[in-house]
A and B are shown apart, each in its own frame.
Chain A
Amino acid sequence: MTSAAMDSIVAPLLSVAPTRALVDEMFTVRVENLPPCQHFTLHSLHLSEDNDYWEAFGHYTSNHKGTVVPQDYTKGGTYTGKEPMGLLWSLRPVPGSRKGLRLRKMNVCSPLLYTISVYSGHLVVGFRAQAPLASALAERWYMAPGVQRISIKEKAVRGTMFFPPGTEWPLPWTLGYYFGPGEMETTEMKSNYFETAFNIVKDHPRVISNKVGIVGLSLGATVAFYLATESKVVKPCCCVCINGHHFNPSGKHLFDLSYDSFKMHVRKLSAYWIDCFEYQESIIIIYLNFWQMGKINCPMLLVCGEDDQNVPAVEVADDIERMVRAAGKDRLLTRLNYPGAGHLIEVPYAPHFRVTAFMQAKEQKVMIVWGGQTKPHSDAQEDSWQKILDYLQLHLYSCPSLASKL
């Protein structure tokens, strides 16, 4: 090619639509003006709040017009097949990263930033060592414009309330108990902590007091089971429980149980919970008491990852179903099972983590196996989120007489 012709070469046109979206919305990536019928790699790069780099990529061939779109079939990369959102859900730490990383946004008032690029050839490593042919930036937001975020520090309860934008009408509410083992203080938390939190929400002037639901993941789901069955103080309108257990240790209050007492009973806590199956059996043997799930009086949605390696989600859900049926209340219970999904069923397009590190009490770092295979786990996140939103819409916005099993 002549020098004049080289001077006239312009970059391919890479566009992302929409460039700004909520994290549960889809986007489309399009690259145009490429040489036709050649190999290219689409790549996404994200720098986390913890300063770790995460990436995903797919291998494509441009068509005769010189265009590549991720709806095309990809045979290689961190995802395969026709996967328009693969550049997000298959994100993983770049080679050489610290072990056991987990991606979680702490500041929800700012967006996640992804650099989407196109490279020549089918690359697997070395993306940062060479210049892409073109790139674009996509913003993914956890908050819509106008949503108000208010920190709560009241009666020893710490939390955050998020108000939808606009109107002054009171609103139905969802109380989210989201934490996993080790993420709260391991000093014993009394069960009335959660009842106090529930009442702070219920009594708020902008909240419809008989329309407060609970969404809980992991230990948060356990809290929801406790409140729905045992609490004399709170009456949730509905509950969404993701991969929780219903074990009630020795009949004591919920947070007289701490993880120290778990460890006392566990034979061995190894660096990887490869003995997790043994561990689960040991829990089942030791804890003969369970929350009496037949006592629920509100609709409850159970979300189970069938490959959950942290909590025996399927066995727990089977047991809960048995108890609820025995009490003649199966119309209240809805269950969603996801084969191949692990413990951490998060919002759509969030990366999947099979194993991550966390700090146990007293600075003991362990690697926890959460389970799941990436593709089925990501499908579970996408499917369950919409069903959870529909479930909350049904039970928090509609009249009781219209509520029915999904």
Chain B
Amino acid sequence: MDHQYCEVKLSVQPCRALVDEKFKVLVQKAPPGAQLTVRSHHHSENKHEWEAFGHYICDSTGALNLSEDLSLGGTYEGVEPMGLLWSLRPVPGSKPGLRLRKMNVETPMEVTVSVYQGHLSEDFSEQRALAAVVVERWYMAPGVRRIPVTEHGLTATLFLPPGPGRFPAVLDLWGGGGNLMEYRASLLASHGFAALVLDYLTNELTKTTGKMMENDYFEVAFKFLEQHPQIVGSRIAMWGLSFGTAMTLKMAVYSNVIKLRCAVCYSGSHIQPVDGSVKDIKEYMGKKRENIRVTENQEVIFRDLTLPVPKDPAFKVDMGRLQCPLQVVVGLDDQSWPAYESAMDMKVMMEEAGNSHLLTLLTYPHTGHLIEPPYSPYVRTSILRPFPGGVSFKVLWGGETAAHSRAQEDAWRKTLLFLREHLYDMRNSAVTSKSNL
């Protein structure tokens, strides 16, 4: 019997967690001062492989603590306890333009964390790991209920927190890529907010009739929440990202049916034909295609489509009429929407109208368009498949890995606090500033 064995111990605590929770990675009993590579590896739902790794030197007791020790190289550098997740990238040789998004939120994301001898950057599968563990990262807490919603022509999924309720709620809108992306709503429900994610671009009605949804589609979704027996109708927020921000602002200001307790807008703008709906906004943008730029790497930059910010009030939401608290989150390197220019214009409009006290503006340097839940792998570009059909193309989202990942972590925490403050009346005295400009 071969008695050669390895004493190196690796632990990741907790081994099961929500995706927005931190973990601690510890290595023990390695040779003192040894060079080690700590690597994470994930097989995605669509069968692609992602990895991240850091190069470390363990201390004189043979121990390593990723919350304290510096990564000297790899896919992340510095003291980065969560770098093994946010710096995940497709392994060499993968299809270009991949993006990691969890489609089935009822199962966890499984990540294998391993330790290797030396500072490795490639060919991990040809090496024998010194130790390895598997961790589960969940988008849903136990007891959260997932309920597909098709009433009244909606294409949506409702997530309810465990317990009898009644709960405040968030109407969750994603962007121009369409589809029903459930992972933000399921996370919100894991934090005590009922959440309804609504598909308004690739929904059933649009697919079968060929017609884009009018504004009343969003009002129907709101009423569904308002009348739900486990939801407090007077405590509903909307959270939009990208195109979803356009609809959120339109509804918040102009709808007679939708009465929001507060609103959250990520990476979007208020620039749109105010008398119109989804179709009109798309057509408005379609008329300005000459503003689209393409990089030398064939990456499409959409941010200039609606610039400069129009002076004509018919083409921007009248923010002076907003009556609920609004949190706006902007990546300063957003290459897809002119989020910063729009935010500046909104601020001016609200200051002139006297309602700027409602605005909380968070801007993040070197941060791109796709501001996702914390520790989600960052991608600077990815392939977009247009709906209802057409050639796929590569979109430039912007941002730099480390800064963008820090922004995701900070913005998420601040948005949850914002929602707790306005939907639960729970004020956290640590967050008092309205803007970090």
Contact = CB atoms under 8 A, between A and B. Distances in A.
Interface stretch (A138-146, A177-185, A190-198, A356-364): A138-146
Interface residues of A, number: 48
B235 A167 contact: no
A286 interface: no
B142 A139 contact: yes
B232 A9 contact: yes
Given A13-B192, A169-B5, A19 B129 contact: no
A113 interface: yes
Nearest to B424: A33
Interface stretch (B70-78, B160-168, B289-297, B366-374): B160-168
Given A13-B424, A13-B426, A32-B426, A208 B1 contact: yes
B326 interface: no
Interface stretch (A127-135, A289-297, A367-375): A127-135
A8 interface: yes
Contacts of A139: 16, 142
Among B5, B17, B138, residue most surrounded by chain A Cβ atoms (within 10 Å):
B5
B233 interface: yes
A13 B2 CA distance: 55
A18 B16 contact: yes
Size class of the B contact interface (CB-based, 8 Å): 35 or more
Given A25-B14, A397-B29, A167 B6 contact: yes
Given A135-B162, A136-B162, A10 B423 contact: yes
B299 interface: no
B232 A166 contact: no
Contacts of B1: 170, 203, 208-209
Contacts, number: 138
A113 B162 CA distance: 13
Contacts of A234: none
B375 to A, nearest CB: 16
Contacts of B167: 10-11
Given A9-B232, A145-B110, A165-B133, A137 B141 contact: yes
B142 A138 contact: yes
Nearest to A209: B1
Among A13, A21, A33, A117, residue most surrounded by chain B Cβ atoms (within 10 Å):
A13
Contact of A208 (B3, B9, B192, B426): B3
B132 A167 contact: yes
Contacts of B420: 13
Nearest to A207: B1
Contacts of A13: 192, 420, 424, 426
B134 interface: yes
B425 interface: yes
Contacts of B234: 7-8
Among B9, B29, B168, B192, residue most surrounded by chain A Cβ atoms (within 10 Å):
B192
A298 interface: no
Contacts of B235: 8, 10
B153 interface: no
Contacts of B314: none
Contact of A19 (B2, B9, B18, B168): B18
B131 interface: yes
Interface in A11-30: 11, 13-15, 17-22, 25
B349 interface: no
Given A11-B164, A166-B114, A208-B5, A145 B142 contact: no
Given A145-B136, A169-B128, A208-B3, A135 B14 contact: no
24 contacts: A9-B232, A13-B192, A18-B17, A19-B18, A20-B17, A32-B426, A33-B424, A133-B164, A134-B163, A137-B162, A138-B142, A139-B142, A144-B15, A145-B108, A145-B110, A145-B135, A167-B128, A167-B129, A169-B130, A170-B5, A171-B5, A208-B1, A397-B7, A397-B29
Instruction: Give 9 nearest A-B pairs by CB, closest first.
Output: A166-B132, A146-B134, A137-B143, A20-B16, A135-B163, A137-B142, A145-B134, A209-B1, A169-B6
Interface of B: 1-7, 9-10, 14-18, 21, 29, 108, 110, 112, 114, 128-136, 138, 141-143, 161-168, 190-192, 232-235, 420, 423-426
Given A22-B15, A165-B112, 7 more contacts: A19-B141, A131-B164, A135-B163, A139-B16, A144-B15, A145-B134, A166-B134
